[in-house]
Structure 1
């Protein structure tokens, strides 16, 4: 138990991310709007369970990046900076350090690789790639024009992999921009967004690992009581 306790202790050392007004991370935009609101207005540390998933994802991402670097014909960049100003609003920008993508250059072709870890890949193949993952990679493709996108899913348990090639989709990028605008307006008004993940079947899985779940459910219960 000694080793387990030490590891859990260090996993529990979680800092709260520092967000800047008007700056939104590509990796966050397609999370539930209410969760994003809470994380900026009344942030709390990531739960131990979420930290475990994040840590495993980081380890696998680093392994894949280091493995690709061993190929002499491949040039690899990771943790690359991203900054995309909003096309119409000077107070909004998509910005951050993309620590979950790898830029791979092979000859004259450039690939933006997004690594996603997943449980039980085999049972989930039918609904992959997920829209939020495509949308996130689509932002990176906007930042790296004329690149090809690859979403690489890696099974946490078996290390089985599945990859999908993605092309830039301007309509999906505009949809992402609309989400950023919505969140920004909610934050400016200090108006709580609806519980998006609870109301959207495709997003409900986010509730299972959300550190704000209890707070969100209390708010839903409070709102329901006010109707009577």
Structure 2
């Protein structure tokens, strides 16, 4: 009963459709945000939906605890020149803070932290707010243990960031037949990213029949 009520509320919750690339999309495959910009809908299974909401709950709790210290909490910030938009977790003094939850299994398995895709996302927020310092904060789900990793924004980071945003917009203008010629190596995408991608059902790289999938199908799957 409660599970279904929660899932219904989560599925009924409307998400704003941004015309710009989201900073939260920058750490992953460039084709996923390109497909979103083309009008394709994400597909999120119920287990993932609940997992994401638990992570979101941790974010909200940390932000509430630090409400007297954090600025720019979840504020919608645009860079109209680069055409990106983001909602930073918060800023303490001159440092952008990005909270991430991590399972004990992932923490034990991880060869290196912070993850490169998390660093890339944080550099997007740092660029938006013109801050050179960032901090990725991992919160281990089972114990609440906190791990902090400082990140420094460089000119090379900005160059790479701009190149990826430009690539996303270029891909969003291509027809599906042209996108079908791409491969994971060209996109610099790992198999695990495809596994957890919300757009894999539409992806012409992951699914060669992707061009025949309807754009307006449900965003959620059971």
Instruction: With the length of structure 2 as denominator, give the TM-score of the two structures.
Output: 0.77
Structure 1 gaps of 5+ residues are 87-91, 223-228
Picking from 9, 13, 22, the partner of 1:25 is 22
SS in 2 for 1:112: strand
Q: 1:57 aligns with which of 50, 55, 58?
A: 55
Task: Please give the residue correspondences for 1:44-123 in structure 2 after superposition, counting only pairs within 5 Å.
Answer: 44-47=41-44, 48-69=46-67, 74-86=69-81, 92-96=82-86, 98=87, 100-105=88-93, 110-120=94-104, 121-123=106-108
Count of residues paired in the alignment = 204
Aligned to 1:137: 122
- The verdict on how the C-alpha distance between 1:195 and 1:37 changes in structure 2, with shifts beyond 3 A counting, is farther
Alignment check: 8 A CA contact 1:82 1:143 kept:
yes
Structure 2 match to 1:184: 169
1:108-152 alpha-carbon deviations (Å, 9 max, x no partner): xx2210011222253144321111211221122223345521000
| Distance change >3 Å, CA 66–CA 33, structure 1 → 2 | same
CA RMSD after TM alignment: 2.8
Aligned counterpart for 2:36 among listed residues 35, 39, 48: 39
Structure with greater strand share of residues: 1
Asked if the contact 1:33/1:195 (under 8 Å) is kept, the reply is no
Query: Which has more radius of gyration?
Result: 1
Larger RCO: 1 or 2 (CA < 8 Å, sep 6+): 2
Runs of at least 5 residues in structure 2 that lack an aligned partner in the other structure: 212-222
Where does residue 10 of structure 2 map in the other structure?
Answer: 11
Note if contact 2:34-2:169 (Cα within 8 Å) is conserved in structure 1.
no
TM-score where L is the length of structure 1:
0.76
